[in-house]
Structure 1
Amino acid sequence: MSKILIRGAKVLGGEQRDVLIDGETIAEVGTGLSAEGAEVIEAEGKVLLPGLVDLHTHLREPGREDSETVLTGTRAAASGGYTAVFAMANTFPVADTAGVVEQVWRLGKEHGYCDVQPIGAVTVGLEGRKLAELGAMHESAAGVTVFSDDGKCVDDAVIMRRALEYVKAFGGIVAQHAQEPRLTEGAQMNEGVVSAELGLGGWPAVAEESIIARDVLLAEHVGSRVHICHLSTAGSVEIVRWAKSRGIQVTAEVTPHHLLLTDELVRTYNPVYKVNPPLRTERDVMALREALADGTIDIVATDHAPHPHEDKDCEWAAAAMGMVGLETALSVVQETMVDTGLLDWAGVADRMSAKPAQIGQATGHGRPVSAGEPANLTLVDTAYRGQVDPAGFASRSRNTPYQGRELPGRVTHTWLRGKATLVDGKLT
């Protein structure tokens, strides 16, 4: 690989520095750097971050290639500044065996736009009745360390306890989709004033909070690690805060859409706003932002959930739940957290790169922008503002809730181990 000199970037939003990439590694960080024959990227005024890491991505392959593939999903990831993503297990067939997780892992290796780390299912077929091959998936070439039935809750306390005990042996983690199924039968949106006015089945906050409360107690009892997927309510924040105060090994994520959007948008009956867990109230949104700022919520994860046109362009009740998010996540975080003064860019790097890499054990990712580290980097034009146009997405699907909305920030370059995957906003 040739040398690349990134000149004058604000590293983590701080002072301007030059960063020299030599091959797969950051060779030097300083001022007034030069390198004979290096490609020079003029980055004055732009922010340089470690490559983003998403602990919660749906790539859909195998089985739903009409909505996304590993290729299109990783291209979308590179467009959004990501150098590593964790692929959820709710594929067809389910990623509950070593063979399926290795297939996804190898597809990621072949395409090369970002690293793909498969997440293994907790239970066979996501059915919640029998533990999947957790050990075999961990020992496979994919080296799975994160397990989740995301899309479904592991609602059986005995199964959840056994999973926590099993993964403890090799330092794994169970990522829970917290949704008590009996409390959410027929649910279409957040339970509250808006659902009552619209006559839509409500998804109560307690359905999330009760599972989180149970699982942090189980994690404490077992001495194992539990991660809460897409936490969405103010009450959930308080439970996680309490659990951390007791020293329980719990981490939690919030999605960009839960940081910005509320259930008031459901009044449009536009299925693009249908998601699980549902959009909550303004009070919940503010609590989530504050919790991300103070570290109660550890990371931002996209829950990138692509769907083909026919699954979303229909009546509300029949529409699939989910939103794409890889290509807009950083912009939403800038809008809700940076431009509001709740986080600086070093905090964004922590919540969107360093900590998700630590939780998922993504080797070589989330590292400091310093000499000797892998050159996994993202360059952001933070002064940019523009309308979201899904027609330009790299994802195969277009189900974004931000179409036509003006958002700040634009990823201009992404490097994966020194290789450019995005240059001037265009995929290589």
Structure 2
Amino acid sequence: MSVVVIKGARILGGDPVDLVLRDGVIAELGTGLSADGATVVDAAGLVALPGLVDLHTHLREPGREDAETVHTGSRAAALGGYTAVCAMANTSPVADTAGVVEQVYRLGQEAGLVDVQPIGAVTIGLAGERLAELGAMADSAARVRIFSDDGHCVSDPRLMRRALEYVKAFDGVIAQHAEEPRLTEGAQMHEGDVSARLGLTGWPAVAEESIIARDVLLAEHVGARLHVCHVSTAGSVEIIRVAKARGVRVTAEVTPHHLLLTHVKAESYDPVYKVNPPLRTDADVAALREGLRDGTIDIVATDHAPHAAEDKECEWAYARPGMLGLETALPITLEALGEQSIGTPAEPAMWDLIAERMSRAPARIAGLDNHGHDLKVGAPANLTLIDPTARWTVEETGLASLSHNTPYAGMTVPGRIVATFLRGVPTVLDGKVQK
């Protein structure tokens, strides 16, 4: 097993320290450390975080390898500082059987850049009619614990209740795409003054909020775990805040793009800004940021959604919704929340918040026991090194994904991932993938 000595890293923005990575764990912490035959990484000025964990990634394989594969998505994830990602079920065929989730799991192992944990579908074919093979997927080699029809809402309340009851037996999670489909038929963007001016059918906030309100009541009734995907409205944040105060077992995520961008981007008619749920208002963005800070929203998840050119480079109405996210998630979150703390006494608190929302909490929700650990002796050596003072410009064709649908092309963003380590083995060094 290789040995790595990281020299002078600032764990969570604290004082410089050396780390020795050996046999997949952090073997030593201190100053002036060395090891015979070790690879030495100069981390002076760099911040060390536990490896990031994404609870919401679309890797497209099997079925849409023209947009992304498990291997290319794993490269993007490693470059973004991730050591584990959860792959959504809306592939072709849908990941609704043990066979498909095991295929995705094996592809992740073969890529070897991040741990790929498949998410299973709640219903067969994402059709919302019959429960998928939840138990078989849970018992498979992939050990699925999160189930989601993401891209489709489990809109039938009886079916949603049954799903929650089923997964409660093995402490699984239902991750809901909260969208009442009868309120969003034909919707193209957020319903508001901009949609009215542009003449585009609106996606009202209540379509999201009504499903969340229903589902937290169902989760409370059943006593099961509910996770709310890509929360986008101020009203949703308040519903989740009240549910948590009542003791409901609910967790929630927000995407980087919902923390930064608003519906005014649609004025360009550029389909790169078309996403589901849609970009919302300034007031919604402010509420999402506050909810993330105070813990109402548990995690940042990318909703990395690569699309082939023909699915994005077309008229707005025909474009597929979704944006790339893995390589830009940390910089965009810093831009939205915490860049101003770098170099101040508040910096360690900011990095601790990032570690909680982008590593520890998503690992806990997903049951990824080997991820999300604080960087201390004996912990798994899953970590990332960030240059907090670097600023870099996002290039549309400079990302590792097979697709190019990033809304941040041309934007200069803070924080550059310098290195990522999976079980002590470097997957990224000096910003370059090692496989």
The TM-score by the shorter chain falls in which range?
Answer: over 0.9
Mapped to 2, the partners of 1:28 and 1:282 lie a distance apart of 46
User: Does residue 292 in structure 1 map to residue 292 in structure 2?
Assistant: yes
1:34 Cα deviation after fit: 2.1
Q: C-alpha deviations, 1:249-296, integer Å up to 9, x for none?
A: 000000000000000110000000000000000110011001100000
Q: CA deviation at 1:247?
A: 0.4
CA contact (8 A) 2:2 2:425 kept: no
Q: Pairwise mapping of residues 18-97 of structure 1 onto structure 2 (< 5 A)?
A: 18-97=18-97
What does residue 350 of structure 2 align with?
A: 344
1:204 maps to: 204
Asked if the contact 2:24/2:424 (under 8 Å) is kept, the reply is: yes
d(CA) in 2 for partners of 1:263 and 1:355? 29
Per-residue deviation, residues 312-354 of structure 1 (Å, max 9, x unmatched): 1111111110001000000001111112459600110110000
Which residue in 2 is equivalent to 1:405?
411
After TM superposition, list the pairs within 5 Å mapping 1:353-372 onto structure 2. Answer: 353-372=359-378
Displacement after TM superposition at 1:363 (Å) = 2.2
How far apart are 1:36 and its partner, in Å?
2.6
Letter in 2 for 1:421: T
Residues in 2 aligned to 1:338 and 1:29: alpha-carbon distance in whole angstroms? 27
Partner of 1:238: 238
Look up the match of 2:163. Answer: 163
Structure 1 residues 369-388: aligned runs within 5 Å: 369-388=375-394
State the partner residue of 2:260: 260
- TM-superposition CA deviations, 1:211-245 (whole Å, max 9, x none): 00000000000000000000000000000000000
Which of these residues, 397, 400, 421, is aligned with residue 427 of structure 2?
A: 421
TM-score, with structure 2 as normaliser: 0.97
Which residue number in structure 1 is paired with residue 312 of structure 2? 312
Larger displacement relative to structure 2 (161-170 or 339-348) = 339-348
1:25, CA displacement in angstroms? Answer: 1.1
Q: Deviation per CA, 1:111-163, whole angstroms, max 9, x where unpaired?
A: 10100000000000000010000000000110000000000000000000000
Question: Which runs of structure 1 show a deviation greater than 6 angstroms over 4 or more consecutive aligned residues?
Answer: none
1:392 alignment partner in structure 2: 398
Aligned to 1:229: 229
Distance 2:288 2:17 in 1: 33
**Structure 1 position 335 matched with structure 2 position 335:** yes
SS state at 1:288 partner:
helix
What is the alpha-carbon distance in structure 2 between the residues aligned to residue 2 and residue 62 of structure 1? Answer: 33
Per-residue deviation, 1:426: 0.5
What amino acid does structure 2 have at the position aligned with 1:417? R
Q: CA deviation at 1:37?
A: 2.5
1:387 Cα deviation (Å)? Answer: 1.0
Give the Cα separation in 1 of the matches to 2:216 and 2:432.
Answer: 43
Question: Aligned partner of 1:376: which letter?
Answer: N
Counterpart code for 2:41: I
CA-based RMSD: 0.9
- Provide the secondary structure at the position in 2 that maps to 1:61: coil
Distance 2:65 2:82 in 1: 21
Give the total of aligned pairs.
Answer: 428
The answer for unaligned runs of 5 or more in structure 1 is: none
Corresponding residue of 1:216: 216
For 1:407 and 1:149, the matched residues in 2 are separated by 32
Distance 1:301 1:213 in 2: 21
Cα drift, residue 356 of structure 1: 0.2
Unaligned runs of 5+ in 2: none
Q: Aligned to 1:357, what secondary structure does the other structure show? A: helix
* TM-score, normalised with respect to structure 1: 0.99
1:31-76, Cα deviation, whole Å (9 max, x unpaired):
2222232221111111000110000000000000010000000011
Question: How far apart are the structure 2 equivalents of 1:257 and 1:232?
Answer: 10
1:340, 1:265 → 2: CA distance?
24
In structure 1, what is the Cα distance between the partners aligned to 2:396 and 2:16?
A: 33
Q: Distance in 1 between matches of 2:28 and 2:203?
A: 51
For 1:263 and 1:148, the matched residues in 2 are separated by 26
The question of whether the paired residues in 1 share the 8 Å contact of 2:421 and 2:428 is answered with yes
AA matched with 1:387: T
Equivalent AA in structure 2 for residue 46 of structure 1: L
Residue type of the alignment partner of 1:137 = M
For 2:175 and 2:14, the matched residues in 1 are separated by 34
Residue identity matched to 2:165: E
Q: Which residue identity does 1:269 align to in structure 2?
A: Y
